[in-house]
Structure 1
Amino acid sequence: MEEIQMTTTEKLVSTWDACFDKESGWFPPLERALQGLTAVQACWRMDGKEMNTIKELVNHILFYKSQLLSSLTGSTDAPSTDTSFDAGTRVIREEEWQETVEKLKHIHTSIREKLSALSDQDLLSELDGVTIDQSVSNLVLHDIYHTGQIIFIRRMQGSWSV
């Protein structure tokens, strides 16, 4: 039987999917970590503790995804400075939170579309001195790390069910 080999692009897109909305079998994707989360829960911070809120973490993830999308498209729309952790302690309205989650999904999907259209050779092109392949791989690791933090915060507040 002939073994089917995935291209580098296909592998990278599969990894991109696993970190966001496709179950990998051994770690939950970001979309599931945010599922059912309210604005109040997203803004929750343990009393007296120096820690990021889920809202801040999501805005931080959004910043880096926006940076990647801008680099892939040649756009200058993305913010140039990460201020996600300077957002203050204000609890946002539910509509604002849902808009943030939808923006995250939209940007993630837009990057996926761009990646799917690239050849293996294209992945070796550089963005800011790093290959596209490495940039995307780094961002996947970044997202998985922060997904773990989000789940940890949800467990501390009692809003995470396995």
Structure 2
Amino acid sequence: MTITEQLVDAWDSCFDKETGWYPSLERGLQGLTAAQANWKLEGKEMNTIYELISHITFYKSSLFAGLTGDGDAPSSDTSFNNNLTASTEEEWNAAIAKLKKIHNRIHEKLAALSDQDLQKELDGVTISQWVSDLVRHDIYHTGQVIFIRKLQGSWSC
């Protein structure tokens, strides 16, 4: 297996490819309503699932912009400081669709890269390192999503 294939496999495993060892982000979001995505434990300083998804989407968008030279990525991450909420089910579903779309677009770009391409730098970091870091980032936040769902009683294995 090439380094590119390994990286693409890791990319998919953290999002929508079940490994049997840990749940993917997609599974962590299944069946979640807008109200559940906006839920916070009363009296506790914490992020909502919606804020976490906005945060993950921001970093995926930043990577995609670096891979394509597209300047459409937001210039700063505001997902954790605006008390973001999904007002409707449609808005929540649109946030999930945006996340899936950017994830799949990155998958396509990564799969087309050679092992040598992965050593090119974007903002002083190799593509390989950036993707590896983002995989770990997504897994970390997937754990938070599932923990929040357990706290609210909406998670069942």
TM over 0.5: yes
- Which of the residues 10, 22, 40 maps onto 2:5? 10
Q: Which runs of 5+ in 2 are unaligned?
A: none
Shift of the 158–76 alpha-carbon distance from structure 1 to 2, 3 Å rule, reads same
Q: CA RMSD in A?
A: 0.9
* Count of paired positions: 157
Q: CA deviation at 1:85?
A: 1.1
Report runs of 4+ in structure 1 exceeding 3 Å deviation. none
Q: After superposition, give the CA deviation of every residue in 1:66-104 in whole Å (9 maximum; x if it has no partner).
A: 000000000110001000012326452100000000000
Structure 2 CA distance, aligned partners of 1:103 and 1:91? 13
Structure 2 CA distance, aligned partners of 1:66 and 1:120? 22
Q: Which residue of 2 aligns with 1:130?
A: 125
TM superposition score normalised by structure 2:
0.98
- Which of the residues 141, 145, 148 maps onto 1:150? 145
**Residue 30 of structure 2 corresponds to residue 23 of structure 1:** no
Identity of aligned residues (%): 66
Shift of the 89–69 alpha-carbon distance from structure 1 to 2, 3 Å rule, reads closer
Residue 156 of structure 1 aligns to a residue in which SS?
A: helix
Q: Which runs of 5+ in 1 are unaligned?
A: 1-5
